[in-house]
Each structure stands twice: as structure tokens, then as C-alpha cells.
Amino acid sequence: MKKNSADQSVRLIAIIGILIFANILGISWFARVDMTGDNQFTLNRASKRIVSDLKDPVTVKAYFTDNLPPPYSNNRRYVKDLLDEYYAASDGKFRYEFIDPKAEETEEDKEKKKEVKHDIFGRAVREATSIERELRTLGIQEVNVQVLEDDRRETQRAYMGLAINYGDASEVIPLVQDTSNLEYNITVRVRKLVRESPPKIAFVTTLPESELQEEYGRLYGMLGQEYEVSVVNPEGEADMADDIDVAIVINGASEFSDKAAATIDRYVQKGRSAAFLLDAVKPDFQTMAAEERASGLSGLLGAYGVKIGAGLVLDKVCATISVSQRIGPLTIPQPVSYPFMPLPASLDPDHPLTRGLAQVVFPFVSPLELAVPESSAVVGQVLVRSSAESYVHSPPYDLNPMRQWRKDELEEKNGIPLVISLSGPLSTKKAPAADNIMVPSNEETTSSNSRVLVIGGSSVASNQFMSKTNETFVLNLMDWLLLDEDLLAVRSRGLAAAPLGGVNEEGQPEELSDGVRLTVRYANVVGVPLAFIAFGIIRWRMRESRRKSVTL
């Protein structure tokens, strides 16, 4: 028995040694298999294409404090793995180095850190070191992280940022705390650095710029990080500038004139791209009512093949809002489903704009109709539909979230189109000349291949409703209109919903029965402990069986 016991000990020590050695080897030599549905851990082809086409080297300096606790240490390893993939795809033109700012401190810096003073409020302050000043100039700031040392939770100052350099230009990712969108953030910054000039996007609207900023300021600022953004009032323009790559058309309180419609049409006829975010109904949250608006572009869009209907879409599958309710002496916020904010799961899974997206909210939208003739060379697609349990609300409008709806008050619809795309040679009646806009003509004009997207409302891109997924949708829209479809897949990773019960044919999550939900819940709570207990019992029985079989 002593010999068997010794053999088992040797075998156990050997197994532990092999595992330790394999783990050490795996740090430097490893292979990965990406089994995620949307390849979240594989470098996208857009990223590969951009770095493989580099003419001059791109250098990334990763400023990470050493010996950070989890999960920050895992983030550091993920960053290194990702940068390794960029390096491999770039044929050596994409280079990187990791720098621990603390290791860069000079003796003078270390002395400065000891010289602590106090300000007039008694707070401890000291002079910044040379590396701290350098990183602040770059835009990379220290952050506080929680560490556990000697059974005590302490706060540690740390750096976790990237500086991307190309020639004399640089871009910065100040903090890598969430790696879910890191590849996109790196790729767009590299693309911005290597581009000779950024694409130009124009807001085409009659709104004053101050009002535009007030309602769509987040969108304006977000686009300004990647593109050159301007505001164009087509009422005062004979023609839109030829260097505008994408037009975002938003109507204000006053409708576009025939002259403005002709200006927009001439722009599209040049083979350019445009997104029409047009409010047929504009909500007023002060009065919880809404007013109808005429865009002045119904004829133009109708000629392209899209009709914006009257009313607002209500959907049973919708987002929730917080409503303050009085319960006794207390006012308590309560989540309430709000049908005016459809949350469609039926997004076209094959179109690059909507592929991989979910949970995009379309507040206060009007129904659309696709009316492209079958004989037309234009490709029209409904990209987003409401659910099978959706309705159209006609005036007068009551936006009260606590209203009790009756079916006889609404027009029931099934799968209402909310977003429509058009691509191809768009045809209209000849756009009249700017100085003679009222001259009628039956002559048709046909554009070269244009791209147009229509949404019956602009709230999807407004400050109030710009969620993470809505932000991704709008940025995807810009890339699709700019013919930069590869990058859409990078941005949309990890946003697709993965309901436990799967999805039905309409793309809606399948409801789980109460029995299945309880089974899953209790399996998560007690399943793992029971599995360990079962393993222990089986192991014990096997050892007992071996012990009894041993002859003395």
C-alpha cells in the first residue's frame, strides 16, 4: 500500500508540474479558437485591410501600469493579443511597445514624489513627474483602481491608455477599461491618421444651428470625431458643394420649399448618399402632445420609391421609461413600457447596416411604405420592421405613458416598415434649375448609383434617445452611406441579442415557459454544487473499491 501511495504522489506531482510548464509555455506560444457567433476575438477584415495597406509605420505605445489586479490584468493581456494580431496583419508596419510609466521615472522624479505639500484646504499635493506631464499632454490620465493587499482593499493609481502615432500625427485612447469595442476604436483611429482628408458630412436642414446643436448635439460631436461636419441650409444654396460625401436631411418646423427639394435632388442625382430623418409628427414632451409636420419632400421621396405615412407607430415590443408615481407620501420612479418607442427585433440580418444589431430604439416614428416599381433597377429594402403586434396612432395625439389604450382607438398593423434603404440609379422628374424652379418638365433624370436611407422620424438620432446601440446604428449608417461596409461588422460585434429561448421567424425572442425558467434558475444555483458532490461520491466509491481489491 505504501508503494501505491508513493506512486500516486509521484503521479500527482508530475501532473501538476506538466500543467505548470504548459501554462508557462502558453504565455508565449499559444493558439486560439474563436467560437463566438460573431467572431468577437478575431481581427476583422477591415482592420486587416487598413493595416496591410500602410505605407509608413504606425507605432502604438501602450501605457499600462505593471502588476494590476484582475480584471485589469486580463485587459492588458487582451490588448497585447490584439496588438499582436495587428502586427501580424501589417507585415511589420504596425508596431507596438508596452510602457510602465512608473519604470520611466527618473531619480529626480522619485525625489519629487517624496516632496508632498498641502494646499489651503489641507489636501496633500505634489509636483507632477516628467512622465506624468508627458502623459497628461497626450491626454492619458491616471485612474483609481481597487486592489486587495494583505486582506485590505486599497486604492491604487494606474495608467491604462494607448497612444497611436503615425508620422507627426497621433491619436489617443485615454482609458482601456472595456475591451468590447477596442478593435473598432483602434481601427478608426488608424484610419483617421492615414487618410489624406476625412469624409465630409453635412446636416441639411432649415433648423438654426443652435437648435440643431440643442437637439442633435451628441450626434454632431460624435460624427465630428471621425468626419468633417457642416450645416447646410438648402433654402439659400443654388447647389450643395460637390465635396459633401453624405447628407443628413432633417426637417424643422417649416417645410422645405420646392427650391430646397430641387437642390437636394440634384445632389442625389450626382450619385451621392443621403439619410432622410423626417418627422411627420413632432412630439412635445412639455404638453405630452404632438403636432403634425410637413417636410416638403414627400414628392421627392415618392419619386425615389418611399412614402412616409401619417400617424405614429405604437408597438407592444417597446422600450421602458421611468415614470414618477405617487405612492402614499412618497414619489417613486417606476419603469413603464412605452409603446411610442418601438424596440424591433426584426432587423434585416443580411444587410451590412443592421447585421449583428439589436435593441435599437425608434421613438416617435411614422410608418413607411416601399413603392419601388418591380421594373426599376433600384434595390429597395425594408431594414427594420415593427412587431406583429403594432398599431398606428392617428391624431389627436396623446403621449401620456399611463394612458390605457383600447384597440378601437388604433389601426392594427403587422410588421410596419420603419427603415427603408434604396440603392441604385434613382429616377425623378427633372430637377428644375435653381433660378427657375417652377418650370414644369416631364423629362426624367437618372442618377448614377446613389444610396438613400429613409426613417419616418429623427428622434432615433436625438440627444434624448442616443443609447449605445442607437449610436452604433447611426455610425453604421454613415459607413454604409460612405461605402465603407467592412467597418460596420467591427462596430456591431457583441451587440446582437442572444436570448436563452432563441428567436422566432420574425426575429422576436421566444418566451420561455415558467417551468423552463425555474429549471434554469435552480440549475444555476444548485447545479454546480450538486455536480461537485456527485463527483466526490463517485471518487470516494472508486477509492473504496480499489482499497477493497488490494490484498494484504
The residues, ordered by sequence, that sit 6+ positions from 506 with a Cβ below 8 Å of its Cβ are: 345, 346, 387, 388, 415
What are the pLDDT tens digits along the chain (552 aa)?
555 566 667 777 888 888 887 777 665 555 556 555 555 667 888 889 999 999 999 999 999 998 888 878 888 999 999 999 999 999 899 999 999 998 888 888 777 777 777 667 767 667 778 888 888 888 888 888 877 666 677 778 889 999 999 998 999 999 998 887 899 889 989 988 998 888 999 999 999 989 999 999 999 999 998 899 999 999 887 789 889 999 999 999 899 999 999 999 999 999 999 999 999 999 988 888 899 999 999 999 999 999 999 999 999 999 999 888 777 777 888 899 999 999 998 888 888 888 878 889 999 999 999 998 877 889 999 999 999 999 999 989 999 998 888 888 888 888 999 999 999 988 775 444 444 443 334 455 655 689 999 999 999 999 999 988 899 899 989 989 987 766 666 665 554 555 555 555 544 556 666 677 677 777 777 777 888 788 888 888 887 777 777 655
Q: What is the pLDDT of residue 3?
A: 55
Whether pTM > 0.95 for this model: the answer is: no
Cα-Cα end-to-end distance for the chain: 8
Amino acid at 141: Q
pLDDT for res 216: 96
The 3-state DSSP class for residue 276 equals: strand
pLDDT given for residue 492 in this prediction: 58
Contact 235, 255 (CB under 8 A): no
pLDDT of res. 440: 36
> Which CATH number applies to 34-190?
3.40.30.10
The counts of H helices and E strands in the chain are: 12, 25
pLDDT by residue (tens digit) across 464-512? 999 888 998 999 899 899 877 666 666 655 545 555 555 555 445 566 6
Using a 10 angstrom Cβ sphere, with 0-12 exposed, 13-18 middle and 19 or more buried, the burial of residue 374 is exposed
Q: How far apart are CA 405 and CA 391, in angstroms?
A: 11
Rounded to whole angstroms, the Cα distance separating 259 from 290 reads 28
Give me the residue spans of the domains in the chain.
34-190, 199-491
Following DSSP, what letter does each residue of 149-179 receive, concatenated? ETTEEEEEEE-EEEEEEETTEEEEE---S--
pLDDT in tens, 414-456: 899 999 999 998 877 544 444 444 333 445 565 568 999 999 9
| CATH T-level assignment (fold) for domain 199-491 | Rossmann fold (3.40.50)
